Amino acid sequence: MLPTVSKGRTHSNVRQNPVFPQYLRRIVKWEQMDIEYTFWQMFHLCTSPKVVYQHTKYHKQTKNQWARDDPAFVVICSLLLVVATSAYCAAYDHSMAHAIFTVISVLIFHFLVTGVVLATCCWFLTNSYLREEAPNSHVVEQRVEWLYAFDVHCNSFFPLFIMLYVIHYFLSPLLVAHGFIPLLLSNLVFMVAISYYHYLNFLGYDVLPFLDKTTFFLYPIGLVFIISPLLILSGFNPTRYVMNIYFS
């Protein structure tokens, strides 16, 4: 049986068990990170993501928190992003200083800052509007942890990274070319990557038993499917657009 606390003691328990400071301290302690389990998660997020969130339930039962207490996923994902961005710079950039700036800006803004903003928005949205009402006053009130919201973003980001930073890199000579086929393929790659991101975002919150109407997180997929054909008809190539921003 999971330990329970009354509503009145919830905040004091959080202060007594500061998860976030411990999480930050472990970032610089490589030997304390579970690297093998992190790669297992990354693989299954691309092949069978529901298995990963099934393990999230086990983590809640054993650690009494939904969020990871191991920063290995963020660290490895950041390192892989640096390597992938460096590969783009080696292929398309002609300035070492600009390449360094590009790598740092992609890591900070594409992954970390965007992740913090999206996680904060989802954290606020779920806690404010999607939580189920407790049937009686004796049930412990549960809330989405901010760190869990950031975990969900990181989980959703990794398959997007594989599609838009790895697969896209090898296809980029074709995707930047002129013509309808490069235009179509470029939009399809972005459409699949963004849709899968939102699908994993949905799975991350749907696994929480105290949330209701989590299908809300699937709505952006419908928007993507509406916008993508319009972009194709208008001749917009997202690959050429992004490459021009960073390597023009």
Q: pLDDT tens digits, residue range 89-140?
A: 999 988 999 999 999 999 999 899 999 999 999 999 999 999 987 666 556 7
∠ Cα 106 202 42 (to 5°): 55
Q: DSSP secondary-structure letter at 132?
A: P
Residue 43 has a CB neighbour count (10 Å cut-off) of 13
pLDDT at 3 over 90: no
Question: What is the number of structural domains in the chain?
Answer: 1
Q: Give the three-state DSSP class for 33.
A: coil
pLDDT at 13 over 90: no
Least confident of 26-30, 136-140, 188-192: 136-140
What does the pLDDT read at residue 61?
Answer: 81
Phi, then psi, of 131 in degrees rounded to 5? -75, 140
Mean pLDDT over all residues of the chain? 88
∠ Cα 56 59 64 (to 5°): 120
Residue at 197 is within a domain = yes
Residue at 104 is within a domain = yes
Residue at 190 is within a domain = yes
Residue at 163 is within a domain = yes
Q: Give the three-state DSSP class for 17.
A: coil
> In this structure, are residues 215 and 162 in contact, taking their beta carbons and an 8 Å threshold?
no
- How large is the angle between the packed helices 146-161 and 180-206, nearest 10 degrees? 150
Residue at 225 is within a domain = yes
Residue at 16 is within a domain = no
Domain range for 57 is 34-131+143-247
pLDDT at 248 over 70: yes
Residue at 123 is within a domain = yes
Q: Can you list the alpha helix ranges (DSSP code H) found in the chain?
A: 10-16, 19-26, 35-47, 49-63, 72-92, 96-105, 114-125, 146-161, 168-175, 180-206, 219-234, 238-247
> In this structure, are residues 49 and 41 in contact, taking their beta carbons and an 8 Å threshold?
no
Strand partners, 211: 131
